Amino acid sequence: MARARARSGRPAKRKTATKTRSRKTTSSTRPTARVGHARSPTKARSRPRTRIRLAASPRVAQKIGREAVAQMVPVNAIRLLEQDHREAEAFFAQFETDEERRAELARKICLALTVHAAIEEEIFYPMARQAGLGDLLDEAEVEHAAAKQLIAEIEATKKKDRLFPAKVKVLGEYVKHHIQEEERKLFPLLQDRELDFIELGQQLAARRIALLIELGARR
């Protein structure tokens, strides 16, 4: 009887083990199916892409400039022009020491000086004339004209040209003298006048940004 019970019990245990194994196998396959369902490539493809366009229109550039200036900290007009002077001096100093980047630095010098001269002639100098400083401004405009002529020659000269470095150095001498005249004579005389240099600085900054965008798009 005992042997019969033992023999009859063996198949029952095997069936139970088989069922247990099948349950484990079934349960282990379910998470794999869920993970595969969660990784759907269609969601990533449906994300929109932002297109960036450069504004070359003068009207658009001026609008961008005004919006950018509205978010800036108020700046004094004379401080802004002095910052331009320090930037130009730094570019010329780099041109002297870094021969490999001379072509790039020359382009930066020409662009910076062109923008600086434009905002002075369009906004700053007319205000200074109203303050009775016409004689100094006549000299400044002559210096601007000479610098513009040399800038045009530099932009038309190739880097390998023998006179390319000399033209940039001579331009640097013009700019150095011009900076001294403005900072030692013109600016101190203007500071004695009762002028709104913050409002003037906002105008200069807005026009400066607009010109950088406009001229940068052309080059």
Chain segment 165-217, per-residue pLDDT in tens = 999 999 999 999 999 999 999 999 998 888 899 999 999 999 999 998 888 66
pLDDT at 73: 58
Q: What mean pLDDT value characterizes the chain? A: 78
pLDDT of residue 67: 54
State the pLDDT at residue 113. 96
Per-residue pLDDT reduced to its tens digit, 137-149: 999 999 999 999 9
Mean pLDDT value across residues 95-114: 94
More confident residue, 96 or 8: 96
CATH for 58-218? 1.20.120.520
Q: Which two three-digit tokens encode residue 111?
A: 């662009």
pLDDT exceeds 70 at position 50 = no
Q: Give yes or no for residue 164 having a pLDDT over 60.
A: yes
Q: What is the pLDDT of residues 61-99, one digit of tens each?
A: 555 555 555 555 568 999 999 999 999 999 999 999 999
- Percent of the chain beyond pLDDT 70? 64
Residue 37 pLDDT exceeds 60: no
What mean pLDDT do residues 15-37 have? 45
What is the value of pTM for the model shown? 0.67
- Is the model's pLDDT at 136 over the cut of 80? yes
The fraction of the chain above a pLDDT of 90, given in percent, is 57
| Confidence (pLDDT) at 103 | 94
